[in-house]
């Protein structure tokens, strides 16, 4: 009999935000239950929170459909961000010069885990 691997992963590869900005929001949801994290992201006043919320919902859907986990026992084990592509654009300046504009993208990874609720045998309360 094989034991279930309790780790569920979802990766969003092209989030239109810098990694440092996304990391502020991700640190906010680490360790929280998955449904609480979605509710918190709903009311976070950052643009990147919507993309992170989509990634958390995707991870929950992966857990439910692929591994038949109970949604109520899932929590955010890890949430981290890395750099992805950088779009390079140029802005015209005085005297025929150009100034570069960098538009960074991020790669958001959400890892959920199922908390097992074990009942202790022998507690008399």
The dihedral formed by the CA atoms of 111, 66, 105 and 22, expressed in degrees to the nearest 10: -30
pLDDT (tens place) for every residue of the chain, 125 residues total: 445 567 899 999 999 999 999 999 999 999 999 999 999 999 999 999 999 999 999 999 999 998 888 889 999 999 999 999 999 999 999 999 999 999 999 999 999 998 876 656 655 55
Q: Of 82, 59, 80, nearest to 7 (Cα)?
A: 59
Q: How many helices (H) and strands (E) in the chain?
A: 3, 3
Hey, what domains does the chain have and what are their CATH numbers?
7-114 (3.90.470.10)
pLDDT digits 0-9 by tens, 83-98? 999 999 999 999 999 9
Sheet bearing 98-114, strands edge to edge? 7-15, 98-114, 74-92
Residue 7 to residue 72: CA distance in whole angstroms: 15
Residue 68 confidence (pLDDT): 87
């Amino acid at each position: 009999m094989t034991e279930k691997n309790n780790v569920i992963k979802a990766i969003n590869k092209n989030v239109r935000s810098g990694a440092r900005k996304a990391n502020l929001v991700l640190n906010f949801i680490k360790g929280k239950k998955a449904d609480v994290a979605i509710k918190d992201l709903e009311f976070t006043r950052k643009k990147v929170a919507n993309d992170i919320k989509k990634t958390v919902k995707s991870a929950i859907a992966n857990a439910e459909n692929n591994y038949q986990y109970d949604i109520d026992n899932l929590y955010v084990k890890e949430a981290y961000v890395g750099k992805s592509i950088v779009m390079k654009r140029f802005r015209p300046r005085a005297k025929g010069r150009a100034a570069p504009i960098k538009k960074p993208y991020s790669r958001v990874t959400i890892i959920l885990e199922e908390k097992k609720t074990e009942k202790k045998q022998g507690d008399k309360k």
